[in-house]
Amino acid sequence: MIRLMTQKDISAAIDLYANHMFDSFFNDLGQGFLRVIFESALASKYARCYVWEEGSFMPGFIISATDSRALFREIFWKKAFLLLIQAALFVIKKPSLCLKILESFFYFRRTKLEDVKAEFLFISIDPAYRNRGISKELIAKTLAEFSERGISRTKVTSKKDNHIVNNLLRSLGFNLIDSFEFHGKENLLYEVRVSHAKE
């Protein structure tokens, strides 16, 4: 069953993300950093956060933004100090992260589709619950919400070597727009017309 994420789901969402998005930049900055990002998203008018619930277990979640640039700008201005504190230890241990942090400020300039504000940001499903259509349902729920809000197009980026998610996106009708290097890896940018996405 899909429901809105609440504060109580944050720790489980962090575990799902940290344990299964091994090469994520956000993971490099530690779980405290991720917590600030997820909690801020939950509190923001720009983000939509859903979870999949089975009994008392939450095996999957999705976080999207109706305006991802506005969301990250809001998080940065409200939480810059907290983010800095959370990331400091990890940056001291691995100074090369400084360059990635700097590059992050140019993410929106590096990606095409600047006019498409809505974006899928984070999704992760517990391995024991995969291939049961949970992601497809979470994505469909988010698209329905975008549609209700009058949003006509949305985008998502993925790592080129994440074959499972790239396959999933293509099967849902997402169109590949561009490939670009970011944080030292090849990334893909997709777009879909909200009303054209396949169920």
Ligand X SMILES: CC(C)(COP(=O)(O)OP(=O)(O)OC[C@H]1O[C@@H](n2cnc3c(N)ncnc32)[C@H](O)[C@@H]1OP(=O)(O)O)[C@@H](O)C(=O)NCCC(=O)NCCS
Question: What residues line the site for ligand X (CB under 6 A)?
Answer: 20-21, 123-125, 130-136, 158, 162-165, 167-168, 171
Pairing of strands 153-159, 118-125: parallel
Residues with Cβ within 8 Å of residue 171, at least 6 apart in sequence: 198
Q: Kindly state the smallest distance separating residue 60's Cβ from ligand X, in Å.
A: 6
Pick the closer one to ligand X by CB: 45 or 163: 163
Q: What SS3 state is found at 22?
A: coil
Q: Kindly state the smallest distance separating residue 36's Cβ from ligand X, in Å.
A: 20
Q: How many CB atoms are located within 10 Å of the residue 113 CB?
A: 17
Pick the closer one to ligand X by CB: 74 or 119: 119
Q: What SS3 state is found at 132?
A: coil
Pick the closer one to ligand X by CB: 84 or 161: 161
Pick the closer one to ligand X by CB: 2 or 21: 21
Residue-by-residue DSSP string for 106-119: THHHHSS-TT--EE
C-alpha radius of gyration, the chain, whole number: 16
Q: Kindly state the smallest distance separating residue 79's Cβ from ligand X, in Å.
A: 23
Pick the closer one to ligand X by CB: 95 or 199: 199
Q: Kindly state the smallest distance separating residue 19's Cβ from ligand X, in Å.
A: 9
Residue 198 φ/ψ, nearest 5 degrees? -85, 150
Q: Kindly state the smallest distance separating residue 187's Cβ from ligand X, in Å.
A: 9
